[in-house]
């Protein structure tokens, strides 16, 4: 894999946050990026979190939830003191974050979007999320993810 650096890993290095990168060979035929990561790395899927971009009252925001669940859009809107949420158009999500779908990281996004991390993340010493590229996951403490993204923690899984 050429060059492991991404904006997410650069942020982690700059902030001197303890983390571990885990890479695997991405299979474009796999139906779920997150479940693929869990399987490829031999992880309990509940510890692997996906980054989903939604629109809350017309503004982009990010929900970080386990790969085993769906994003609760009402919960996301409520956590951000909004009224209505819907999934963002993929092209809008990619443009705002600077990442491609399936590799969107909550860290190091081009445009800093409001982030909500599902409360279940706090049950683990470390969690896994995209490091900014398909086939590259970062393992870090949930508290560090919350701190670096200035996230709200709430129940946003359905």
| 1 vs 111, more confident | 111
User: What is the mean pLDDT of the segment spanning 9-24?
Assistant: 94
Paired tokens of 7: 């904006």
Is residue 156 within 8 Å of 71, Cβ to Cβ? yes
Q: Is the pLDDT of residue 3 over 50?
A: no
The predicted pLDDT at position 75 comes to: 97
60: nearest Cα among 30, 24, 98: 98
Identify any residues that bridge with 62 across adjacent strands, giving them in sequence order: 53, 115
The model carries a pTM of 0.94
CATH number of 17-154: 3.90.960.10
Paired tokens of 14: 């700059």
pLDDT, tens digit, 9 for 90 and up, residues 94-149: 999 999 998 999 999 999 999 999 999 999 999 999 999 999 999 999 999 999 99
Alpha-carbon span 56 to 86, nearest angstrom: 7
The predicted pLDDT at position 34 comes to: 85
């Amino acid at each position: 894999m050429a060059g492991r650096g991404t904006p997410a890993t650069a942020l982690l290095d700059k902030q001197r946050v303890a983390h571990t990168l885990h890479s695997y060979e991405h299979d474009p035929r796999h139906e779920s990026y997150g479940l693929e990561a869990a399987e490829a790395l031999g992880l309990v899927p509940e510890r692997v979190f996906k980054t989903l971009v939604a629109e809350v009252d017309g503004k982009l925001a990010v929900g970080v939830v386990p790969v085993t669940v769906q994003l609760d859009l009402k919960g996301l809107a409520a956590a951000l003191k909004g009224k209505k949420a819907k999934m963002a158009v993929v092209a809008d999500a990619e443009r705002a974050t600077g990442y491609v779908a399936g590799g969107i990281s909550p860290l190091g996004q081009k445009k800093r979007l409001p982030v909500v991390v599902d409360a279940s993340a706090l049950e683990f010493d470390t969690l896994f999320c995209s490091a900014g590229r398909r086939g590259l996951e970062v393992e870090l403490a949930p508290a560090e993810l919350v701190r670096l993204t200035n996230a709200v923690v709430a129940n946003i899984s359905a």
